[in-house]
Copies of this chain bind each other. A is one copy, B any other.
Amino acid sequence: MISVQEAVNIIQSNLAKPEIIEVSFKEAVGKVLAEPISADRDFPPFDRVMMDGIAINYDRYNSGQSMFNVEATQLAGAPRLTLRQADNCLEVMTGAMLPKGVDTVIRYEDVTIVGNKAVVNDIEIFKGQNIHNQGQDIEKDHIIIKPSTLITPAEIGVITTVGKEKVKVYKPLKFAIISTGDELVPVEDEPKEYQIRQSNSHVFKSSLDQIGMDAQVFHIVDDKETLKGRIKDILEEFDALILSGGVSKGKSDFVPEVLEELGVTKHFHRVAQRPGKPFWFGTVKNKSVFALPGNPVSTFLCFNKYILPWLRKSYRLEEKIQLAQLEEDFSFKPDLTYFLQVKVNNEKGMLKATPVKGQGSGDLANLVLADGFIELPPDKYDFKAGELFPLIPYRRLD
């Protein structure tokens, strides 16, 4: 039996290597960028008017002139005008190019316009005010977004602004999600007294769908030869496998031996943790095989603690450790890392984790009351309110 940290290290030294593909910016959100995004020109691309108002030649104003004849209007989206007579002004609109021959913009609120004459109110004017200068934000060819960035709507803003109609991103991995266990029936079936419905597969599938992975669900009966034949085919076709059930010491727990017979190298079986002790992990030809225990909470913990971070690292995303403060004393005796289900609140900026009381590791109802797990190390029995522990959130906290 290995420790949680050893399990993390082993899993993360067997990363997937997603291919690079090109997609339209319209399908890019949620994907990870595989190229840098650079400025295709200066931003702003021209000296840009920042306020609706008039544009003048500051020197004229500074030498005492306060009334200016309006020559014309410079609209946004129109070619650049030129002031013909230095003591005149031009009306200018937000987003427009600053016309030639002017250098200062005074907003409408600070001028009085009657007919075609604009009189500057008695206020302070600075040379160059209300102009967003060419290249002030970013110069041409400067890298705005680095590769290995998760594309969110903010990145879409940049990608579209620089005209990247297609972007290189890492391709979704193909996951096979396999449940085993003869007690399981499909969601749409009425279970017999001794049966329960499949749920783990759908939890994985919805989690992977949400982050844009390509996941397919299978159920295989607890028959060793059937299991072996089906998994053999699945291993050919998929990039990664997530199994649930069949990894304990039971008579129908064929998963570990079937995987090894199929040439999957076992890296570990059993992790010093609760829930999720019987977790098995192996690889074959750069494909990772995660064989998780069957009970819903164990499986959910393993998915969030091991598989998602492995996936983020495979996609070269930076992993941020979140800590949360335990709100109540808690005891756990066995020499195992304990993953405690918690409700998380932001109290004056501090993340506070309150244990959600549960009955057993099979208790799904707790998962919907909690926001995540906190990780309590095995070298202590008593965990005190106020202590900090790593948080594995599985919902947004806002």
> Does A296 sit within 8 A of B, measured CB to CB?
yes
Residues of B within 8 A of A75 (CB): 182, 222, 250-252
CA A99 – CA B251 in complex, angstroms?
A: 16
* Cβ contacts A to B, 30 pairs, < 8 Å: A29-B206, A29-B210, A45-B193, A45-B196, A52-B249, A75-B251, A76-B182, A77-B181, A77-B194, A78-B183, A93-B251, A132-B359, A145-B368, A149-B368, A154-B368, A154-B370, A157-B199, A157-B202, A157-B364, A158-B368, A160-B198, A161-B196, A161-B199, A163-B187, A320-B397, A320-B398, A322-B346, A322-B398, A346-B351, A350-B350
A248 within 8 A of B: yes
Interface residue ranges, A against B (CB under 8 Å): 25-26, 28-30, 43-46, 48, 50, 52, 73, 75-80, 91, 93-97, 108, 132, 136-138, 144-145, 149-150, 152-158, 160-165, 181-184, 187-200, 202-207, 209-210, 222, 245, 248-253, 294-296, 300, 320-325, 345-346, 348-352, 358-360, 362-365, 367-368, 370, 388, 391, 393-398
In Å, the complex CA distance between A188 and B157 comes to 14
Q: CB distance A388 to B349 under 8 Å?
A: yes
Contact across chains for B365 and A160 when beta carbons are under 8 A apart: no
Q: Which residue of the partner chain B has the closest CB to A358? A: B137
**How far, in angstroms, from A191 to B363 measured CA to CA in the complex?**
58
> How many copies of this chain?
2
Residues of B within 8 A of A77 (CB): 181-184, 194-195, 222
- Tell me whether chain A's interface is mostly helix, strand or loop, or mixed: loop
In the complex, the chain B residue whose C-beta lies closest to that of A309 is B398
Inter-subunit contact A183/B96 (CB<8 Å): yes
Q: Which of B80, B199, B320, B348 contacts A193 (CB 8 A)?
A: B80
Question: In this complex, which of A44, A45, A95, A397 has the most chain B Cβ atoms within 10 angstroms of its Cβ?
Answer: A95
Partner of A210, one of B108, B153, B207, B222: B153
Would you give the shortest CB distance from A344 to chain B, in whole angstroms?
10
- Residue pair B95, A153 in contact (C-beta under 8 Å): no
A362 near B76 with CB under 8 A, answer no
| CB atoms of B325 and A349 under 8 A apart | yes
* Chain B residues near A26 (CB-CB < 8 A): 202, 205-206
